[in-house]
Amino acid sequence: MNDTLLQTWLESIQSGRRLSLQDMLAQLAESDPRLAPFTRFLAQERAPRGGQEDQVVVESTAEDVDEPDPDHSELHAVRSRLKEARRVERTLLRMDAELQELRTRNETLAAALGACPMCWGEDPECEECDGRGHPGAAKPDSELFHHFIIPAVRRVERLGMWAQQPGNTAKRKSEIQQ
């Protein structure tokens, strides 16, 4: 049910007036042309017999309007779930885009270093390299090496970091993961 039709329906409930089923079907068909064949079928099935038109009688009191109707709360719950599903979908799409960007970046850097893009030589069960794809295991891509690695090497030289011992690689990885 679209918002306009829903609003009309809610207003009629609050006012206590009679709604023509034919009018509701016509409004539904007008609001969503895809439903027109369905609403025409229903209108024909519910056509007036003996000159009387089917009507939906809605009786309400002020108390009914103030109290949440189970049908309305269900509608609100459905809308809430739909809104949440859309939010989750947007989040998943953003996460997927970020994952693709990170995969591309990882593959690019692995190529610059001549490393396996799947495990970087750290997984003996890797289908790509059987754990032998550490940096330098393959010929680095020259253009990518000059773009990414050479600037870092120059910076290390300027800072005099060559004299420093790198330390335990496993220890640094565990520090990074924390």
For a pLDDT cut of 90, what percent of the chain falls above it? 34
Task: Please provide residue 49's backbone torsions phi and psi, each rounded to the nearest 5 degrees.
Answer: -115, 125
Q: Is the dihedral of CA 168, 171, 177, 178 positive or negative?
A: negative
The pLDDT value given to residue 162:
75
Q: What angle do CA 122, 102, 125 make, to 5 degrees?
A: 25
Query: What is the pTM assigned to this prediction?
Result: 0.48
pLDDT recorded at residue 83: 87
Question: Distance from CA of residue 162 to its chain's centroid?
Answer: 46
pLDDT in tens, 20-42: 666 666 776 777 677 667 666 66
How far apart, in whole angstroms, are the C-alpha atoms of residue 99 and residue 96? 5
Buried b (16+ CB within 10 A) or exposed e, 133-158: bbbeebebbeebbeebeeeeeeeeee
In 3-state terms the chain splits into helix, strand, coil percentages (rounded to 5) of 65, 5, 30
Under-50 pLDDT residues of the chain: 1, 49-67, 172, 176, 178
